[in-house]
Amino acid sequence: MQTIPLSSLPALLHGHIGLIDHQDGVQPVRFPPAIGFMLDPLNALTATMTSGIRLRLVTNSSSLELVTQQTQLFLTEPEQWARNFEIYVDGNLYQQTPAIGGSFLTPGAAPEGESRAVLAFTGLGNHLKQIEIWFPQSSLQVIERVQIDSHATWETWKDDRRHILFHGSSITHGMEALGGSGTWPAVAGKLAGVNVTNMGWAGSCLLSALASKVIAQQTIDAAVLELGINIWDGGALNQRTLNDSVHGMISIIRDRYPTLPIVIVSPICSPTRETVGENGGLSLEQIRAGLKSAVDAHVLQGDHQIQYQDGLALFGLEDANLLVDGLHPNADGYCLIGERFAELHRNFLTVD
């Protein structure tokens, strides 16, 4: 087999924000490496996971092998979340499977197992085809080697489609999906035929200036901000600081992109959090009202490229049976959110 040079990975990888060079490979991450020291440990961990990251190329190879150093996150047990890679051939799902090998990590502990993971796809046919491999959404990946047939040809596959960045909590990150293409941003993006970057930072969407700056630095055509659920935890913000934080996020993005289309999505349904806050903090009902008020204020000031989406219209109380823990949707729930968002925001997703 022939090995594709690691130096070619920047042109083959999509959905990442930064790349970190290691002695044995290249690590795609969802934050600029220069700000890594500013992220708290949880944020640094979840933003390093490969949700929405994929490798794209055009080749006539009948097989493809990917070797990585893989670290799969878990909280309760090692197989808590799917660690599937997904390979699409000419736009159709060919196989969804975990790699052989890889280590497991729960926050605060040392990784368990050997990190080397091997993924082999065969029977792809020797015709010229477009290959897209989605990485697992709940793992860290350092790519050591990409190999194809010895006499096969390959070339980069650019993505010139409308580019939309999604930022949010674990709901956007999508740990419970069956694979990276099953998160709700990926589902909505596929239905709309657009290029998606998933900047969902599980447990770490804090309406921060830092996240806003990262978003503003990206070359994008639109942004979707799923906000609010992570500030429920611990009563992180009150009504005044919520208002200030939302306006701050919007203002930082507007400094770079005065007319960027933006949709702000409020929290989806979480039955036990709807009317009660934590530690005296805001309930989800109050958070939704605060987000809508902030968006309405910008619209009244003449910003007609921003809109509010009530999260309950994407996933409401009637859908609560699809929650795995009273907070996170299961795989079907994420698909439902993506489908509803694509239907409600068809023009936003597809029209410049």
Give residue for tokens 């996240």. Answer: 211
pLDDT per position in the chain (352 positions), as tens? Answer: 999 999 999 999 999 999 999 999 999 999 999 999 999 999 999 999 999 999 999 999 999 999 999 999 999 998 899 999 999 999 999 999 999 999 999 988 889 999 999 999 999 999 999 999 999 999 999 999 999 999 999 999 999 999 999 999 999 999 999 999 999 999 999 999 999 999 999 999 999 999 999 999 999 999 999 999 999 999 999 999 999 999 999 999 999 999 999 999 999 999 999 999 999 999 999 999 999 999 999 999 999 999 999 999 999 999 999 999 999 999 999 999 999 999 999 999 997 5
Q: Nearest-CA neighbor of 47 among 31, 69, 28?
A: 31
Distance CA 285, CA 277 (A): 9
Burial of 59 per CB tally in 10 Å (0-12, 13-18, 19+) = buried
How high is the pLDDT of residue 108?
A: 85
How high is the pLDDT of residue 106?
A: 92
Give the Å distances, CA to CA, from 186 to 52, 221, 250: 7, 16, 23
Question: CATH fold of 163-350, please?
Answer: Rossmann fold (3.40.50)
Q: Show the tokens assigned to 110.
A: 């040392």
Distance CA 271, CA 265 (A): 18
Confirm whether pTM is higher than 0.95.
yes
Distance CA 170, CA 329 (A): 10
How high is the pLDDT of residue 352?
A: 59
Q: Domain-by-domain residue ranges, the chain?
A: 2-156, 163-350
DSSP string, 76-95: SSTTSS--EEEEEETTEEEE
| Statement: 2-156 belongs to CATH 1.10.10.10 | no
